[in-house]
Amino acid sequence: MTKHQPIRLAVFASGNGSNFEAVAQSIQKGEVDGELALLVCDQPGAFVLTRAEKLGVPAVTFTPKTFESKADYEREVLAHLEEAKVDLIVLAGYMRIVGKTLLKAYPERIINIHPSLLPSYPGRQGIVDAFMDKVEQTGVTVHLVDEGVDTGPVLAQETVAIEPDDTIDSLERKIHAVEHELFPKVIQKVIKKLQKEHV
């Protein structure tokens, strides 16, 4: 029986890249049975690029506003994904809505992590919105990506309590700690499912 081909991942990120690094480390430790083929970044100065360089992960950077349309931008990204033979896209703090070009090329193979218990607090201010609303708990959601904003089918959720003495910073740290644990586990489940489909 032949061993299955490793699932090749591309991580899309826009900022600091702590989730990118958590995923990369999980792969290095053998907790995630995949290969990190590519980092796609839409912010040329983002710190995630420094992390990728240290970890030896190939990276491509784009300035989306230099493209005439979202479709043009995504076609260019897609060319790099195809060249790197990417099987699965992982969004880790990627601050753009994924468009039809990528969704069509990777149906049910784009997953996102979001810092709230969706459907509550979608969008880029999930942590701040929950904190300002003084809710008792928020959390982390990993979901499949569709055409909406944080609306795709939920794969996993974990709650995070908002304590009376929490600040936005302390809440953010707690949420990131949960993200770094949860995301690799869910990615591994998705990889297992893809591997079965490839058999």
**Burial of 131: CB neighbours in 10 Å, binned 0-12, 13-18, 19+:** buried
Proportion of the chain above pLDDT 90, given as a percent: 93
**Predicted local confidence at residue 199, as pLDDT:** 65
CA distance 178 to 195: 26
Proportion of the chain above pLDDT 70, given as a percent: 97
Global pTM reads 0.94
CB 34 within 8 A of CB 28: no
Mean pLDDT of the chain: 94
Using alpha carbons, select from 188, 182, 187 the residue that is nearest to residue 160.
182
List, for residues 56-86, the tens digit of each pLDDT value.
999 999 999 999 999 999 999 999 999 999 9
What is the three-class DSSP state of 109? coil
> Which has the minimum average pLDDT: 5-9, 18-22, 176-180?
5-9
The one-letter amino acid at 69:
S
Residues 6+ apart with CB under 8 A from 72: none
List, for residues 127-158, the tens digit of each pLDDT value.
999 999 999 999 999 999 999 899 999 999 99
Using alpha carbons, select from 6, 18, 5 the residue that is nearest to residue 184.
18
pLDDT bracket for residue 197 (50, 70, 90): confident
Determine the average pLDDT of the residues in 155-166: 97
**What domains does the chain contain, in order, with CATH numbers?**
7-198 (3.40.50.170)
Q: Identify the active-site residue in 80, 114, 176, 180.
A: 114
Kind of pairing, strands 137-144 and 110-114? antiparallel
Active site residue 114: yes
